[in-house]
A = this chain, B = another copy of it.
């Protein structure tokens, strides 16, 4: 029943492609990268065993180009395709096409992706399986009038979401009925651009909720387990920026309840491979189903550090038909992990993307510090794709230790040439709100929208003068060093 996977095409780029390739290599599995013309020098190309150029910069012609990707997989003799996150990761057609061409798609079946990818259908179906859902439209409303009526019955504010959504794209919060029409149009437009599907739906907007999600693993033999929850409430513009595992507010009873609900729903729809059930949690700790991400998540490392499981390894094993190596009882969380996403973006200006060249890049290291990076010093971040550069993840014996480690890791980081959220993240993690575990999905947008960095001016001025006076590099040890001679011949034998 188990198939052998010898070589995998990674249909993605950046940090996630690099991360997947690392595990493949450790498993002795060959890797094929695909890249667009602007990514010839990208980190994921350098990490791969082989690489195929699949088109020009524009994603529609390269990373979203199913035909070119499948052709590359076949030409290089791959047995499987790992889609990463974003791009084609939640595209049921792509999963189907892969299987049709004899390629194992490392993810759930096309049917499951299709069902759960339509957020409207998923809400409907999973509420039937007992998952609590937020009041909202279920797809029957067709005219603006009907939608307006629905919003009025659920009460403002509401949120417009893309049915094919993910990553905060195609999402608009609407405070007043008068703004609904524009929000619907704008969300639909962004959704169409991002996912090729402009269908949207409306939910009641929960005020200051927490975003808590449950990681699951499901094999092809009907076994489903959960790997406890992650909290991802620190968001800007509906996009996660800091994640942690476990959640600072979930106790054992709630963990088991949420986990069991996710496992039950996953079994009901025949879910296979890794997936995430996302929930919003209100102030009274009621949880409401949000959506299922039918793929690896950006924030999967925090779960890996706390459970000891390599999720990519498990994804590959499951795809090959192997039964889960671990039972639910063996998932014993230990310690605490925090992840910060490092984007090319400017937190002092609404987190605007900031493409450009990484003039200096110093990444942190040391005990309990993991960096999943997709860039290097000198790399020019292309404008065409999601501007994620890397992720810093820290582990500690408890939440405080992990947070302190993260603060130190961020302070060790140097990113110049482009703006980065590092200074913002340091202040966020040092804040009392974060320390107390009180960050909600509204915190950054509402309380920190005017954030400006506190600059270390005095020290910078002193460093400026110091560099002027003493910054001349000492002449480097001129010339190459001699090859060391054999030790056993230190005593120079002459014949």
- Write the residues of chain A forming the contact surface with B, with a CB cutoff of 8 angstroms: 18-19, 22-23, 25-28, 301, 304, 308-310, 313, 325, 332, 334-335, 346, 349-352, 354, 356-357, 359, 363, 365-373, 378, 380, 396-397, 401, 404-405, 408, 417-419, 476-477, 480-481, 484-488, 490
Contacts and interface: CB of A to CB of B under 8 A. Distances in A.
Given A308-B334, A397-B313, A484-B346, A371 B365 contact: yes
Given A310-B396, A372-B366, A481-B417, A349 B487 contact: yes
Nearest to A378: B476
B365 A313 contact: no
A419 B482 CA distance: 11
A26 B487 contact: no
6 contacts: A350-B486, A350-B488, A351-B487, A356-B477, A359-B477, A363-B365
Nearest to A314: B397
Contact of A19 (B304, B313, B351, B366): B366
Contacts of A357: 476-477, 481
A22 B366 contact: yes
Given A366-B22, A372-B366, A481 B418 contact: yes
Contacts of A487: 346, 349-352
B332 A332 contact: yes
A310 B372 contact: no
Contacts of A480: 359
B404 A367 contact: no
A404 B476 CA distance: 37
How many copies the complex holds: the figure is 2
Contacts of A486: 349-350, 352
Contacts of A367: 19, 22-23, 301, 304, 310, 370, 372
A484 B309 contact: no
Given A325-B397, A349-B484, 12 more contacts: A19-B366, A25-B408, A27-B404, A308-B335, A308-B397, A309-B397, A352-B490, A356-B477, A363-B365, A365-B370, A366-B373, A417-B481
A332 B405 CA distance: 23
A332 to B, nearest CB: 7
A309 B395 CA distance: 11
4 shortest A-B CB distances, which residue pairs?
A: A352-B487, A26-B404, A349-B487, A350-B487
Contacts of A334: 308, 332, 334
Nearest to A300: B367
Contacts of A23: 367
A299 to B, nearest CB: 13
B310 A401 contact: yes
A484 to B, nearest CB: 5
A408 B26 contact: yes
A366 B370 contact: yes
Q: Which of A356, A363, A484 has the most CB of B within 10 A?
A: A484
A405 B26 contact: yes
A22 B19 CA distance: 26
Q: Which of A26, A357, A476, A487 has the most CB of B within 10 A?
A: A26
Contacts of A371: 365-366
Contacts of A310: 367-368, 396-397, 401
Contacts of A397: 308-310, 313, 325
Contacts of A28: 404
Contacts of A349: 484-488
A349 B484 CA distance: 9
Contacts of A417: 477, 481
A440 B425 CA distance: 48
